[in-house]
Each structure stands twice: as C-alpha cells, then as structure tokens.
C-alpha cells in the first residue's frame, strides 16, 4: 500500500522489527507553531516588546527611524543623522535588515517594538518547519 503525497512514515525498531505509521504532513508545522506560541507566549499575548539587550542599544532606534521615514513620506533614508552626528543609513550597523522584505513588511504594518519581536517569532517557527522538512 503506497503513501499519499504529503504523508510521512515514522518507524521504530525497539526489538528489531519496523512498523510504519503514516502522519499527515500538516502535523509537524502545527505542533511547532504551538511550541513557538508557548515559548513566546508572554510576548505574543501582550502589547510589550520582546526584550533583547542588543535590540535595545541600536536595533530599536534604527528601525523606528526607518519606519517613521517611510511612513512619513520622506522615502528611503540614505542618511541617518541620529548616529555619531550622521552616518550613511545602509552602511551603518543600523540599516541592517531594512531591505529584508519580512522585516520591512512588519515595520510598515505595526509599531517597531512589536515588529522586532514578531520577526523573531516567525523566524523561530520557520526554522523549525524547514528543519523538519
């Protein structure tokens, strides 16, 4: 009997024999989504920021500057006047992921303090899904 597309077989060989169990393809991503929600529950079910010491020092400020420039109609910021009296935006450490589509979309849809946390939550979830795949 053949497997249907999208099903995985799990085998165990405790006594040397193998038994196949067909699992639906959606089971692993759903379980990993639940595990991710449990892990990040204090962030997901709040309005706070996912704390990170490196995020607090430069990451939040740079992403807030970027999001405000775009939302305010000023266009893409080539110069950041906040750091060291002014630095090129992309060449400084602050510009980092401003051209990375998932980060940019999240920054445009929500406040920067929430976007930074959701980016991490999504990446942890996707890392598990792709690792399983």
Tell me what the pLDDT averaged over the chain comes to.
81
Give CA–CA dist 97/110, Å, rounded.
Answer: 16
> Residue 10: exposed, middle, or buried by beta-carbon count in 10 A (0-12, 13-18, 19+)?
exposed
The pTM of the full predicted model, rounded to 2 decimals, is 0.68
Measured CA to CA, the distance from residue 89 to residue 78 in angstroms comes to: 5
Using pLDDT thresholds of 50, 70 and 90, give the confidence band for residue 56: low
Distance between CA atoms of residues 20 and 59, nearest Å: 48
- For Cα atoms 27, 30, 35, give the angle at the middle one, nearest 5 degrees: 120
- CA 52 to chain CA centroid, Å, is 14
pLDDT band at residue 90 under the 50/70/90 scheme: confident
């Amino acid at each position: 009997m053949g497997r249907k597309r999208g099903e995985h077989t799990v085998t165990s060989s405790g006594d040397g024999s193998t038994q196949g169990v067909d699992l639906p393809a959606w089971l692993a991503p759903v379980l990993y989504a639940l595990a991710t929600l449990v892990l990040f529950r204090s962030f997901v079910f709040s309005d706070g920021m996912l704390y990170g010491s490196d995020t607090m020092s430069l990451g939040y400020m740079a992403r807030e500057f970027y999001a405000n420039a775009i939302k305010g109609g000023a266009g893409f910021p080539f110069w950041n006047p906040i750091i060291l009296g002014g630095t090129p935006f992309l060449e400084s450490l602050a510009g980092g992921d401003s051209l990375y589509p998932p980060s940019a979309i999240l920054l445009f849809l929500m406040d920067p303090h929430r976007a930074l946390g959701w980016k991490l939550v999504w990446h942890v979830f996707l890392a598990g899904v792709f690792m399983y795949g």
